[in-house]
Structure 1
Amino acid sequence: MTTRTATTFRPPVMEARRWLDGVAFSADRPLINVSQAAPVDPPPEALRREMARLVMEEPQAHLYGPVLGLPDLRAEIAAQWSVAYGGTVAPEQVAITSGCNEAFCAAIETLTTEGDEVLLPTPWYFNHKMWLDMAGAVAVPLPTGPALLPDADTARGLITPRTRAIALVSPNNPGGVEYPPATIRAFYDLCQQAGIALILDETYRDFHVSPRAPHDLFAQPGWDETLIQLYSFSKAYRLTGHRVGAMVTGTARLSEVEKFLDTVTICPAQLGQFAALWGMQNLGQWLAGERAEVLARRAAIESGFSPLSRKGWKLLGCGAYFAYLEHPFDTPSDQLAPRLVQEAGVLLLPGTMFMPDDDPAGGQQFRIAFANVDADGLRDLIDRLAAFDG
């Protein structure tokens, strides 16, 4: 008998951290850790001061709250999303979750039963694949090709009577690619025609290269019957440990989501929700600075990639927190990654963690999560990879 958890693989980031066991790094050549897409710095001081005030002065921060989240936070998201996307979002179409991963899990629980299918573009976000495995659903790989862009016509050919959704992540994890508005709209139209859901994970929307809306889906009539948008406050306000995410979709679906959330966490952590609300209302200028810094680091990788290009490496995608690379060696990436820790002092994730087992492309690829590495560190990273002989 196979248990639900035994149907999937071990958490990739935790697996990669085990490669550090017993390895020492010198002061003049410290570890460059580009394995996890999470800010390592705490929230900005102004937000921390507000959180300290909340701890002392806001009794509700310590109590159970509504299962679907703090009403004021739901209303703030609805108002800001309506402006940012040029559409109409109501507070009752917003739910707050304990991180974006929980939002995805909740969405899948409202959509699937045993053997149902969800299309995931490859390379995929591994936690999406893990939850589908444990939920008894089938992750159907949707190849994206050299540009890492999914194609709606290709997806159409993979839809079966068991297909319940297509899940997109843009800006993409792991590829870093930003899906063009026309691509996102094509997938929305396809899902609407097929009577399935479009799950659109926009965890990294705050670090998009364009200041314009990344899509027009919230302006479409009846969008809430097809679209399930997911979001995270972890990256925007460095609230990773407080686990605050969001789902924006129809009220009927949120009634089902409420059942899942009530059973799993009862309610999102109140302190994190108050912090997210304060951040949305007060940290717009600070967040713009964070976005500018991430975009500068993206530019540093793109402009400084030539030492790797000369050695046969390829930059397949770069954006938000990520760069996705193809290496030139015969040895597969899951064997090279532990060696890079020991020989180059670099911890990154192999493409095999983002691909089906039978897809050889994963063996040629690596993901770099660069948001915690400054420009000097990125130059050092590129030099170390260029000096690695495979």
Structure 2
Amino acid sequence: MTTRTDATFFPPIPEAQRWLKGVTFPPDRPLINLSQAAPAEPPPPEMLGAMAAMLQETATHLYGPVLGLPALRAALATDWARHYGAPVTAGQIGITQGCNQAFAATLSALTTEGDEVIVPTPWYFNHKMWLDMSGLRAVPLPTGADLIPEADAARPLITARTRAIVLVTPNNPTGAEYPPETLRAFFDLARAHGLKLVVDETYRDFHSRPGAPHDLLTTPGWDDTLVQLYSFSKVYRLTGHRVGAVIANPELLHQIEKFQDTVAICAPTLGQKAALWGLQNLGDWKDAQRQEILTRRAAIAEGFAPLRDRGWQLRGLGAYFAYLDHPFAEGAAALAPRLVREAGVLTLPATMFTPSGDASGERCLRLAFANTDSAGLARVLDRLARVEGPLATPSGAA
């Protein structure tokens, strides 16, 4: 018997962790783990103190409202409206148990088995896994050299079974930041065909440009087409507390409420209270975190020349991610475990982000640099520049 979970692949992060078994790392070259897009440090001390006090409150240990604490929904609505320069109400906010659950709940509310969802490639692997396990068809939308999807290329992929288009910006895995005009083109395409445009903005707070990344919320009736997903986990280092959000039409949230009540009942109350406290008190700290990520981004861009000289290419860079095209004859699926052994660097091959048989997956690696600093990234670049191996035949060569 084939089950829904049999329909998809094993989670990439645990799979990559297996490459560490039996490998020892000398003291002068410890492992640098760039496999998972998550900060490795706890929340700031001020938040930890506030969370300690929250533990003394009885309500922290009880079920809360299915769509989230009213105060958190209202605060996020205010934050969202301020950031995007458009009205957003608490009734358009739903709190979920992490952004992955926000995606799962949204797609469950929008689709039925056999439906189709257009997803640019490279795609976020957990999105693909959920579509597989839901009996949905993920329709790949290849991106070009700039890793930016095009609405004109998506148009011929729309069929009678298409229900949504999913975008992630800043993108996981590539780091690409989709321009406002790209998002507008996809919004117009989705609206013209009666589809939902689902935009995962987990990494919004680390965008290289300040201010709103698009103006879609200024469109009258935006929530009949647009669904935004968000995460508190990265910006406030609350990954273990699982707090995400859906910003959407209240009628859609009413359907999502069914999913939420069945799967989780509510997002963890402590995490929700911490997210609320962060929104109210950590504005300057959040800005500093963004600047730190931008500093690391610059360190990769400025330090990449030795790798470029050895045939590597920096395809994408943004938020927590660098997307590298390697020069070797072997594919990325074989190269990534070799980098653990020979360079002490754990990263993911792009085969984990692309459809089976997509040759581009074997050419690229994703580096997620949330848990290292600029000095650590300099060591990564130096180690990669020292890796040897047979080189790929240049495209077009005999």
TM-score class, shorter-chain normalisation, is: over 0.9
Paired residue for 1:10?
10
Paired residue for 1:30?
30
2:40·2:370 contact (CA, 8 Å) conserved in 1? no
What is the DSSP-based 3-state SS (H/G/I as helix, E as strand, rest coil) of the residue aligned with 2:55? helix
Partner Cα distance (2:87, 2:133) in 1: 35
What is the DSSP-based 3-state SS (H/G/I as helix, E as strand, rest coil) of the residue aligned with 1:230? strand
TM-score w.r.t. the length of structure 1 is 0.99
Offset at 1:145? 1.0
Which residues in structure 2 correspond to 1:1-390 (within 5 Å)?
A: 1-56=1-56, 58-390=57-389
Partner Cα distance (1:375, 1:80) in 2: 30
What amino acid is the match of 1:49?
A: G
Partner Cα distance (2:17, 2:170) in 1: 25
What is the DSSP-based 3-state SS (H/G/I as helix, E as strand, rest coil) of the residue aligned with 1:210? coil
Runs of 4+ in 1 over 4 A off after TM superposition: none
Offset at 1:359? 0.5
What amino acid is the match of 1:276?
A: A
What amino acid is the match of 1:69?
A: G
Partner Cα distance (2:19, 2:278) in 1: 36
What amino acid is the match of 2:204?
A: R
Offset at 1:298? 0.1
What amino acid is the match of 2:281?
A: N
Per-residue CA deviation, residues 101-120 of structure 1 (Å, 9 max, x unaligned), is 00000011011111111011
Partner Cα distance (1:374, 1:45) in 2: 20
What is the DSSP-based 3-state SS (H/G/I as helix, E as strand, rest coil) of the residue aligned with 1:157? helix
Partner Cα distance (1:377, 1:371) in 2: 11
Per-residue CA deviation, residues 155-207 of structure 1 (Å, 9 max, x unaligned), is 11111111100000000000001001111111111100010000000000000
What is the DSSP-based 3-state SS (H/G/I as helix, E as strand, rest coil) of the residue aligned with 2:220? coil
Partner Cα distance (2:197, 2:212) in 1: 18
Partner Cα distance (1:220, 1:275) in 2: 32
Per-residue CA deviation, residues 227-261 of structure 1 (Å, 9 max, x unaligned), is 11000001110000000000000011011000000
Partner Cα distance (2:237, 2:370) in 1: 12
Per-residue CA deviation, residues 84-103 of structure 1 (Å, 9 max, x unaligned), is 10111110110000000000
Q: Which residues of structure 2 form unaligned runs of 5+? A: 390-398
How many residue pairs match? The answer is 389
Partner Cα distance (1:318, 1:258) in 2: 36
2:99·2:245 contact (CA, 8 Å) conserved in 1? yes
What is the DSSP-based 3-state SS (H/G/I as helix, E as strand, rest coil) of the residue aligned with 1:331? coil
Partner Cα distance (2:234, 2:143) in 1: 26
Offset at 1:389? 1.0
TM-score w.r.t. the length of structure 2 is 0.97
State percent identity of aligned pairs: 62
What amino acid is the match of 2:349?
A: P
What is the DSSP-based 3-state SS (H/G/I as helix, E as strand, rest coil) of the residue aligned with 2:118? strand
